Structure 1
Amino acid sequence: MVLSRLGEGATAAVDLRGVAFSEAERVIFRAGPLTAAAFRFASGVDAVRLSNGPDEVVVLPFQGQHVWSARLGGRDVGMKSAFDVPRPTQKFFETYGGYFQHAGITAIGAPGPTERREQHGELPNAPYRDAAVLFGEDASGRYIAVTGRYNHTVAFATNYEAVPILKLYEGRPRIAIGITVTNLKSTPLAVHYLGHLNWRAREGGRLVGTLHETAEGMRVRQEIPPHIEPGPGYVEWIAELARDPGLAGTLTSDKIFAPEVVFSFDPLTDDEGLSHFMQVHPDGTADYTSFAPKDTGAGVRWICRTGDQEAVGMAFPVRSPGEPARVNGRPVTHAPLGKGERFATEIVAAVFTPAEAEAMGRHIEAVKRQRA
Structure 2
Amino acid sequence: MTGQKKQQRRKDERGMTMKIRLSEAAFTDNKTLFADAGELKAYLFRYESGICAVKIENSKGYATVLPFNGQMVWDAVFCGRSLKMQTSFDQPRKRGIFRDTYGCYVMHCGALAMGCPSPEDDHGHHGELPYVTYDRAFLVSGEDEKGRYMGVTGEYEYNRAFGSHYMARPIAKVYEGSTLIDVGIEIENMAAHPMDLMYMCHVNNAPEPGAEIYQTLPWTPENMVVRVSIPQYNEPDPAFMELLGRVQKDVSVTRVIGEGDVYDPEIVLFLRGVRGDEKGKAHFLYIHKDGSADYTTYDAAVLNRGVRWMVNHDDWKSMGMVLPATAEPEGYLAEKKKGNVRILPGKETFHAEVTVGYLAPEEAQQVKDKIETVMK
TM-score of Structure 1 vs Structure 2, range by shorter chain: over 0.9
1:13 alignment counterpart: 19
1:234 alignment counterpart: 240
Q: Secondary structure at the match of 2:219?
A: coil
CA deviations on 1:71-108 (whole Å, 9 max, x unpaired) are: 02321111111011101123121101101100011211
1:288 alignment counterpart: 295
Contact 1:92–1:118 (CA under 8 A) maintained in structure 2? no
1:322 alignment counterpart: 336
- Between 272-281 and 346-355, report the one with greater CA deviation: 346-355
Matched, 1:63 2:69: yes
Q: Distance in 2 between matches of 1:161 and 1:234?
A: 41
Q: Secondary structure at the match of 1:68?
A: strand
CA deviations on 1:164-190 (whole Å, 9 max, x unpaired) are: 000001012111000000111232111
Matched, 1:169 2:191: no
1:38 alignment counterpart: 44
Q: Secondary structure at the match of 2:374?
A: helix
Q: Distance in 2 between matches of 1:6 and 1:172?
A: 19
Matched, 1:300 2:300: no
- What does 1:173-184 align with in structure 2 at a 5 Å threshold? 173-184=179-190
Contact 1:6–1:12 (CA under 8 A) maintained in structure 2? no
Q: Distance in 2 between matches of 1:292 and 1:35?
A: 29
Matched, 1:205 2:241: no
2:106 alignment counterpart: 100
Matched, 1:156 2:151: no
Matched, 1:29 2:35: yes
CA deviations on 1:183-220 (whole Å, 9 max, x unpaired) are: 11232111111100111111211011100111111111
1:364 alignment counterpart: 371
Q: Secondary structure at the match of 2:167?
A: strand
Matched, 1:269 2:283: no
Runs (5+) with no aligned partner, structure 1: 326-332
Q: Secondary structure at the match of 2:151?
A: strand
Question: Which amino acid counterpart does residue 193 of structure 1 have in structure 2?
Answer: Y
Task: Sort the Cα spacing of 1:352 and 1:34 in 2 relative to 1 into closer, same or farther, 3 A.
Answer: same
Q: Distance in 2 between matches of 1:229 and 1:151?
A: 39
Q: Distance in 1 between matches of 2:258 and 2:294?
A: 17
Q: Distance in 1 between matches of 2:198 and 2:170?
A: 15
CA deviations on 1:269-327 (whole Å, 9 max, x unpaired) are: 111000001110111111111011211211111111122111111111111253759xx
Q: Distance in 2 between matches of 1:23 and 1:283?
A: 36
Q: Distance in 2 between matches of 1:9 and 1:339?
A: 27
| Runs of 4 or more above 6 Å deviation | 3-6
Contact 2:198–2:342 (CA under 8 A) maintained in structure 1? no
- State the Cα distance separating 1:237 from its structure 2 match: 2.2
Q: Secondary structure at the match of 1:349?
A: strand
- State the Cα distance separating 1:254 from its structure 2 match: 2.5
Question: Which amino acid counterpart does residue 325 of structure 2 have in structure 1?
Answer: V
- What does 1:92-131 align with in structure 2 at a 5 Å threshold? 92-131=98-137
- State the Cα distance separating 1:5 from its structure 2 match: 9.3
- State the Cα distance separating 1:228 from its structure 2 match: 4.8
CA deviations on 1:212-264 (whole Å, 9 max, x unpaired) are: 11111111111112335322232332232122100111111332312211111
Runs (5+) with no aligned partner, structure 2: 1-8, 328-334
Q: Distance in 1 between matches of 2:12 and 2:24?
A: 18
1:353 alignment counterpart: 360
**TM-score of the superposed pair, with normalisation by structure 2:** 0.91
Contact 1:73–1:352 (CA under 8 A) maintained in structure 2? no
**TM-score of the superposed pair, with normalisation by structure 1:** 0.92
CA deviations on 1:89-142 (whole Å, 9 max, x unpaired) are: 231211011011000112111121133443111101011020000011111111
Q: Distance in 1 between matches of 2:149 and 2:103?
A: 26
Contact 2:231–2:265 (CA under 8 A) maintained in structure 1? no
Q: Identity of aligned pairs, percent? A: 35
Question: Which amino acid counterpart does residue 349 of structure 2 have in structure 1?
Answer: R
Question: Which amino acid counterpart does residue 268 of structure 2 have in structure 1?
Answer: V
